[in-house]
Amino acid sequence: MDGEHRVQMELISAFREAVAEGRGKEEIEEILVHLVDYTKIHFMSEQLLMRLHGYPRYRDHLHEHDMMVEQIDQLHERYRAGEAELSAEIAGSLAEWLVGHIRRTDRALGKYLEAVTARDH
């Protein structure tokens, strides 16, 4: 999971940097599409792990994922609407949110999965 989190953070940073540098709309759009797709796939894999191992906080974790996906979709819509500066602000908020999510929610999931795996072996 940590490797996937790094990729998410790199994509958010790449988007913010591209907007700040005034790069072309096509390049920025491509970064955003990668961010949206990658995040949704990452969340699906986490959710599958949680269901497979009967994670007791599944619903709360899922709710956080849903909120993040909504924010990323909003970021994409705002950018498409020509609101690049606002999009960069949203991306900054997403990065902060993601760091907090990793430190709290994903760390708790990781500890649970380690305990379940150790118990099963």
Domain spans in the chain, listed from the N-terminal domain onward:
2-120
User: What integer pLDDT is reported at residue 30 of this predicted model?
Assistant: 93
Query: What is the widest separation between alpha-carbon atoms in the chain?
Result: 53
Q: State what percent of residues in the chain have pLDDT above 90.
A: 48
Instruction: For domain 2-120, give its CATH number from 1.10.1040.10, 3.30.70.360, 1.20.120.50, 3.40.50.1010.
Output: 1.20.120.50
Residue 34 has pLDDT above 80, yes or no: yes
Residue 86's pLDDT is: 67
Tens-place pLDDT, residues 6-33: 999 999 899 888 888 888 888 988 998 9
Q: Which helix (H) or strand (E) holds 67?
A: helix 58-80
Q: How many CB atoms lie within 10 A of CB 94?
A: 22
Mean model confidence pLDDT for the chain:
88
- Please answer whether residues 71 and 93 qualify as being in contact, where contact means their C-beta atoms are separated by less than 8 angstroms: yes
DSSP symbol at 82: T
Model pLDDT, residue 92: 82
Instruction: Answer whether residue 90 shows pLDDT above 70.
Output: yes
Say yes or no to pLDDT of 59 above 90. Answer: yes
Q: Looking at residue 87, what is its pLDDT? A: 73
Q: Which two tokens stand for residue 18?
A: 């591209």
For residue 46, pLDDT over 70 is answered with yes
The confidence band for 73, taking pLDDT boundaries of 50, 70 and 90, is confident
d(CA 61, CA 45): 13
Residues, the chain: 121
DSSP codes, 6-59? HHHHHHHHHHHHHHHTT--HHHHHHHHHHHHHHHHHHHHHHHHHHHHTT-TTHH
* Residues 6+ away with beta carbon under 8 Å from 49: 55, 109, 113
